[in-house]
Every structure is written in structure tokens, then in C-alpha cells.
Amino acid sequence: MTRVAVILCGAGRFDGSEIHESVLSLLHLERHGADWMAFAPDRPQWAVCKHFAGEVDAGAERNQLQEAARITRGRVQPLEQARAEDFDALILPGGSGAARNLCDFAERGGEAEVDPVLARLIVAFHAAGKPIGAICIAPALVALVLGKSAPQITLGPIDDGPSVEAARTGARMVDCAVEEIHVDHENRIVSTPAYILGPDLVSVDLGIGRLISEVLQMAALTVAKG
């Protein structure tokens, strides 16, 4: 059975992991018979947002690990416990938390820094030739960590802000429709735009389903090669 690590960082599009993208990822993993475990930082979110208006709720505080447990029904562990050697693939859903809790891409763009624990994990998966699937804004994490390897990723239109900033890391940006995926075979990275292009849930589901399928096929080949 293929083992997959899924990185979350709260629950909610404005302040944590995008819930649809996270749940769809888990659903497609289970449909393919994969075994998954979620991980999230055990620390406060960058902020707590009111999701009707997208405004910060001043003074409120929520823990990323506790909030991620709402999505996974408690099936989540602290990020520090994630080990690349225990898994065959890595999935990174999007949401503003991916750009604010897991790194500071939202503030610093191409000069941003990734949570050091997550950065080491991404490097370990890449070095082991294990596939990485990145959804929505999460490919920015891949660009920030693996930019020197010139990964091919999609972050929406290549002339838009997120793509322009990610390209500063050395990543190669690719246009991609919301229901499609882009596969970087050399770096074993799969990405899809999801809600960075949405908001059609059906199209987002198609893209995430294709990403999960491709990542699991890559993982199976890696395992078969031993």
C-alpha cells in the first residue's frame, strides 16, 4: 500500500489549509487505496480570519494542528514527526495558510523562507526521488525550497503576481487549466491550479483527482524500482 504524507496548516481558505482542496486530496487518496497521514505545525496560525468577509479577527488565536484535526477527524500529527523515509509521496494542499503559516510567500514573494522543518522534509522527498504533489498556492513552497533544481510548476497565469514571484527562485512557470495538471518528470513534481483559478468545485476536483492519480503512479514506480 502506498503511504502518503499530507501537509496541512489549519482549516480555512483565508487563514489555514483550503478545506475543499484538503478533503478532495484525502478522498482521492483513499479511492486509490493509499494510506495517508496528515501533519501540521503545532503552533498558532498567522491570524484567525472571518470567512464571510475574509477579514482578520483581531486578538483571536487558533492552533494549526488543532484546526487541521477538524479536517482529518483527528488523523494528524505534529509536523516535526514527519519523516520522508516513512512515506512514498508528499501532498501539499493550498489555502492562504500555505503562503502564510508554512512560509512567508504572501509577504515576501520570491525572497520568502519556508518553515525549516517543512523545507527539510521537501528536500528529503526530492532527494529520494519520491513524488511531490502541490495544489493551488502550495507550488510556491516547492519553488522556494527547490528553486535551484528549476522545478516546473503552475501557479496560475505565468504573468500574474504569484508566478512572477515564484520564478525569481529559479522555478519554471507553466500555464495550466484548473482541471488539468502539470507534471515535471525530471523533478517528480505534479502541480494543479485548483482555487488559484477556481471557483468551480467540479473543475477543482478534476484537477486534484488527476494530480493524486499521477503522484500515486509515480510513487508505485519508485517502490517497484526498490
Residues annotated catalytic, as ranges: 136
Which one, of 193, 199, 129, lies nearest residue 157 by Cα? 193
Residue recorded with cell 526521488:
129
Cα gap 187→121, rounded to integer Å: 15
- 93's CB contacts (< 8 A; 6+ apart) are 6, 7, 8, 17, 18, 21, 22, 25, 135, 136, 138
Cα gap 174→157, rounded to integer Å: 8
In what helix (H) or strand (E) does residue 189 lie, and over which residues does it extend? Answer: strand 189-192
- 110's CB contacts (< 8 A; 6+ apart) are 143, 144, 165, 166, 167, 168, 169
